[in-house]
Structure 1
Amino acid sequence: MSEPRWPFVVFDLDGTVVNTIPLIIASYEHAMWDVLGERTSPEEARSWIGQTLYATFHARRPSRAQELIDSYVTWNAAHLPELLEEFPGTPELLDALTAAGVVTGVATSKRRVSAENTLRYAGLEGRLPVTVAMEDTDLHKPRPEPLLVALERLGGSAAVAAYVGDAVVDVQAAKAAGMTAVAVSWGAAPREALEAAAPDHIVDTVAELEELLLG
């Protein structure tokens, strides 16, 4: 194996490291119906992934955003164990990165407790620390602040770091931070949307991602 291409790799969580897409879509559908009595299509709910809950719900019903958040969070936490799915090969990828000396972390728009529970149920808690969660920055993706704070905490710099994510906002945040933007096509965004965002790299399988990161 050759030297890692980037000594620091920061990951998005949902749809990148773990398959929480069905859970998130169902949680959005539940909250919108529970609080507003409105039906939300899976396609529309899928397009919201990557934003904070506050940004998503405030854009749709500012006066009831907190009720929507509370409904979402309660339902999501209750159904996390049954709806969480893994992306095969991810634990092995993280182990390979660690063995190669790559410093890794997570920068996510999720609340910290939710992110940590997600990693715990996925069996990845000891492999990948939640470096930056929603509470850690005032500004969120597609702004670069979460990624830059993650790099600071990991002891890295943007010039030697990659950010891996499945949403257009992930690509935008990585580019704004000056990091290498790596998009994965197995998550929330359609491949054509990721291509339009012009990441530095786009991969379709975990094996391709490992080859890119480790050579």
Structure 2
Amino acid sequence: MHALLSDIRLVVFDLDGTLVDSVPDLAAAVDTALADLALPMPGEAKVRDWVGNGSRILMERALEDALGEAPAAAFLDTAHERFLSRYGEAPCERTRLYSGVGEALAGLAASGRRLALVTNKPAAFIAPILRATGIERYFGMCLGGDSLPRRKPDPLPLMHVAKHFDVAPAHCLMVGDSRHDIAAGRAAGFRTLAVPYGYNHGEPVAASRPDEVVESLAELV
């Protein structure tokens, strides 16, 4: 096991950009939602820099790019509902696990550590993706961005998970790909570990000063 795990009892993972590359499906839903509204489609490259703060902010960024200005709240509501509908039609057709994820989850579970998932993605999409990628069985709790009143980078979801498993924050680890994951983990009193391959708005996640960075989650086990 990685040295950072020496007295860790609970490991909390982010989903998009950490365990799975979901951008191809997210981008397809953004493109079709905007096309439904007679707006230009941004394409996958742009969407890859917009994800990580939840679906509503994703659509706000997409609309601002398409319109050249901040969208009106009512129009954003309409576009967001359109995105949710389109994404719900095919949330995991092209979403794939990153290399090393399966080995890491299996090894951590076999070691007796508890595993949880905290994502800013709407909760309704979590189970379909976990089932499609074959990793649903590893997680004792999964929280989406709409599961609690506040989401990452607020520490509330992480504190909620730690309390659920009755594990002190000092014995918890947050694993993610973005500054929001690191900020949430630090604020909750967790140790933090980052992967550099995910979605961090074009910035190196190491700049957020996580406790450790690994190139692959397989390095954990």
Shorter-chain TM-score: what band?
Answer: 0.7 to 0.9
Query: Where do 1:39-118 residues align within 5 Å?
Result: 39-58=41-60, 60-61=70-71, 62-118=73-129
Q: Which runs of 5+ in 2 are unaligned?
A: 62-69
Cα distance in 2 for residues equivalent to 1:29 and 1:183: 29
CA deviations over 1:152-184 (Å, ceiling 9, x no partner): 222222111110011221111111212111111
Query: Where do 1:123-142 residues align within 5 Å?
Result: 123-142=134-153
> How many Å apart are 1:2 and its aligned residue?
8.3
Does the C-alpha gap of structure 1 residues 121 and 2 become closer, same or farther in structure 2, counting only changes over 3 Å? closer
Matched with 2:154 is 143
> How many Å apart are 1:92 and its aligned residue?
2.4
- 1:164 paired to 2:164: no
Q: How many residues align?
A: 210
Picking from 158, 164, 187, the partner of 1:176 is: 187
Q: Which runs of 5+ in 1 are unaligned?
A: none
User: Which residue identity lines up with residue 116 of structure 2 in the other structure?
Assistant: G
> How many Å apart are 1:81 and its aligned residue?
3.6
> How many Å apart are 1:147 and its aligned residue?
1.3
Cα distance in 2 for residues equivalent to 1:55 and 1:81: 20
Superposition TM-score, scaled by structure 1 size: 0.86
Name the Cα RMSD after superposition. Answer: 2.3
User: Which residue identity lines up with residue 189 of structure 2 in the other structure?
Assistant: G
User: Which residue identity lines up with residue 15 of structure 1 in the other structure?
Assistant: G
Report the secondary structure of 1:10's partner residue: strand
> How many Å apart are 1:21 and its aligned residue?
2.3
Report the secondary structure of 2:125's partner residue: helix
Q: How much identity, in percent, do the aligned residues show?
A: 26
